Structure formats: structure tokens, C-alpha cells
Amino acid sequence: MGQEIERAEIAIIKALENKRVAFVSGGDPGVYGAAGLVLEVAGNKKADIDIEIVPGVTSATAAASSLGAPLMVDFAVISLSDILTPWELIERRLRAAVDADFVIVLYNPQSEERKEPLLKTHKILLEYRNPKTLVGIVRRAKRHGEEIIITTLGEMLNYKIDMVTTIIIGNSTTYLSNNRLITPRGYIF
Ligand SMILES: C[S@@+](CC[C@H](N)C(=O)[O-])C[C@H]1O[C@@H](n2cnc3c(N)ncnc32)[C@H](O)[C@@H]1O
């Protein structure tokens, strides 16, 4: 974090020198990733270059696959980072999603310096959802040392949550079967 603009500018300058450039961005580059920034920098520089965006697996679906199938219905992905987005807007989106019974995926949940957004989020979620609502917490999804926790909304803050953690809050229909989370689409039951 913090050097993306410089990296994007270097990438565009190199491309303008007719070099082939790969700009690597974790997960899916178009989901809170570098794709938007690179396109914006290219636009600002009026750089007429061919930019291909290669899709990847975003943390939401990587984490979901480790937990079972919690994202089988409508879901909302919300970043709790208030560095580039004001907290008031994050809270408005959070309240809308939880009120509409979306499954909710939380990105950028908590760091050493930034603990308040997750505490506030937890309180807001409990205003709308039962404390027994199922929650999945995945650290280092699909990487060495992956940690997978299935817990409840009431208990979720008792676990290690950091900036390589994705949290999935189930909706009112999410259930546990054979230790896997399922949000049913309604095929069978
Ligand atoms: C800015 S978002 C990155 C989005 C990225 N472009 C993507 O598609 O996953 C950063 C957040 O993604 C989540 N994340 C990234 N890598 C992860 C991993 N290996 N396991 C779990 N969550 C991860 C964390 O919530 C982290 O704070």
C-alpha cells in the first residue's frame, strides 16, 4: 500500500517505451486491485497503449470455497478500510446490505493500527442479525498456513483477524452441514 500510483506510472512509462509490461495485483486485479488505477493513470497520461486485464480469483470466492458454499445467493462485498472511503459511506452500505439479508463479505477487516471499523461493524451487524448467524473467517486463503474458522456473529471477534483475512457473514438462511457453510439456493429443501 502507498506505492501503487508510482508503480502504475512506471508501468505506463515503460509501456510507452514499447516494452511489454506485467503489473501484478493480488486476487482479481479488477476487485479492489490495480486494474482501475492503471487505466486511470493511462487515461491521465493520454497513453494510447493496449492494456489487457487478466482476471483472477478474488479473496471472496477463494475464502468461500474453503468454507463450503456460502455465496450461492446474492452477496455484497464491503471493504472496511476507511483510508480511501469515508466511514459514513461504509456504514451506509453495510446497513443497506445487512438490512436486505445479503450474505456479506468483509475485506480489509482489521490491522494493528485500525481496529475500530470492525468493532463498529460488529455492533451494526448485531442490530439486524441474530448472534447465532453463521460466520466464516479465512486467513491466508489458498496459501501456505491457511486458517479456516466457522463460528457465529456473536463469537467472531474472539478469533485472529488481520489484513490477510476475509470474513463471510451468513444471511438468515445460511446453515452448517458436515462442517461446511451452505447458503441454499432453494434447489432441494
Ligand atoms: C484490497 S483487498 C484485495 C482484493 C484483491 N484484489 C482480491 O481480489 O482479493 C485486500 C483484502 O483482501 C483480503 N485478502 C487478500 N488476500 C487474502 C487471502 N489470501 N486470504 C484471505 N483474505 C485475503 C483481505 O481481506 C485483505 O485485507
Of ligand 1's listed atoms, the one at least distance from the Cα of 25 is: 6
User: What is the largest distance, in Å, between two alpha-carbon atoms of the chain?
Assistant: 59
Alpha helices in 69-176 (DSSP H): 87-99, 116-128
- In short, whether 110's Cβ falls inside 6 Å of ligand 1 is no
Of ligand 1's listed atoms, the one at least distance from the Cα of 108 is: 27
Round the average pLDDT of the chain to a whole number and report it.
96
- In short, whether 59's Cβ falls inside 6 Å of ligand 1 is yes
CATH code of domain 59-182: 3.30.950.10
| Positive/negative CA dihedral, 151, 157, 161, 165 | positive
Residue 1: pLDDT band with limits 50, 70, 90 = low
Look up cell 509490461; give the residue: 21
pLDDT in tens, 88-116: 999 999 999 999 999 999 999 999 999 99
Q: Give me ligand 1 centre to Cα 32, in Å.
A: 9
Give the residue among 61, 70, 58, 80 at the shortest CA–CA distance from 136. Answer: 70
How many CA atoms lie within 13 Å of 111's alpha carbon, on the beta-carbon side?
12
Give the residue among 84, 109, 96 at the shortest CA–CA distance from 166. Answer: 109
- In short, whether 77's Cβ falls inside 6 Å of ligand 1 is no
Output the pLDDT for position 189: 60
- In short, whether 70's Cβ falls inside 6 Å of ligand 1 is no
Give the residue among 146, 151, 81 at the shortest CA–CA distance from 117. Answer: 81
Residue 78 burial (10 A CB sphere; 0-12, 13-18, 19+): buried
Output the pLDDT for position 47: 95
Q: Give me ligand 1 centre to Cα 164, in Å.
A: 6
- In short, whether 32's Cβ falls inside 6 Å of ligand 1 is yes
- In short, whether 141's Cβ falls inside 6 Å of ligand 1 is yes
Look up cell 477463494; give the residue: 62
Residue boundaries of the structural domains of the chain: 4-44, 59-182
- In short, whether 137's Cβ falls inside 6 Å of ligand 1 is no
Residue 24: pLDDT band with limits 50, 70, 90 = very high
* Residue 98 DSSP class: H
Overall pTM surpassing 0.75 (yes/no) = yes
Per-residue pLDDT, averaged over 48-77, amounts to 97
